[in-house]
Amino acid sequence: MEKKEFLKAAKADFEPKSSGVSIKLSGASQKAFGVIKFILGVSLLPLVYSSTTAFLNEFNTVEKPLQDAFWSGIVVFLAVYLFIWEPAVIYYRGQRLLEIIFTFFKPLVRVAPYLLPIYAIVLFLLYWPVSLLVRSGDLLPYFIFLFGFSIGLHLVFSAKVIRGKKEDFLKANYLFGFSFIYILNLVLFAAILNMLFAKFSFVNFLNNAALTAQGIFSAVFRQLFLR
């Protein structure tokens, strides 16, 4: 019951609040706002593509066994989610932890649970003290596996919460919200990998993502206005 109430409240966070005069304008204003968010969501798609390709290119600098560990974490999560059990309770506990952490700042309480992959952050913070206590070359692959599992958990359930919003005109909430969450998660994970691996360059990741996105925007602009 508690989990259902949380997911219901989470979906409500993405629904515009209305009262008084705004109720009279709700139909037209919500559709207009939906169109704006849809346009912004479409505008984010080149960044989704560019950040993905830049991340994959930079991730190839990491040792192959560690790459395999990361992808194995994502695959195992998807297998568990699709065929065995939906670990919503794990996601829910992580969101509650973030709500407690950001209680001092109301705006962050509302958005932080969907933007920040709490388990990936906790794993990163735990890795350094654990690596000092357990001096083993086999430790890092396990952490990278759990990173992949936690990133998959966060993205899938965040998408599920946003997708569950009622009356999402043109699916604008989903397109814009999940694209933004996806990009931010890639940036955060790239920053973590930059601190874990000498060959992984966060600066190269950002530069390549920006250059690819710039090329796409320039090509679209030329097709639309300079033909």
Question: What is the per-residue pLDDT across 106-139, written as a single tens digit (0 to 9) for each?
Answer: 777 777 888 889 999 999 999 988 888 877 667 8
Question: What is the per-residue pLDDT across 168-195, written as a single tens digit (0 to 9) for each?
Answer: 555 677 888 899 999 999 999 999 999 9
**pLDDT above 90: percentage of residues in the chain:** 50
Domain spans in the chain, listed from the N-terminal domain onward: 27-225
- Sequence length of the chain is 227
N- to C-terminal Cα separation, the chain: 58
Provide CB contacts within 8 A for 211, sequence distance 6+: 50
Paired tokens of 48:
């989704």
Identify the helix (H) or strand (E) that includes residue 208. Answer: helix 202-225
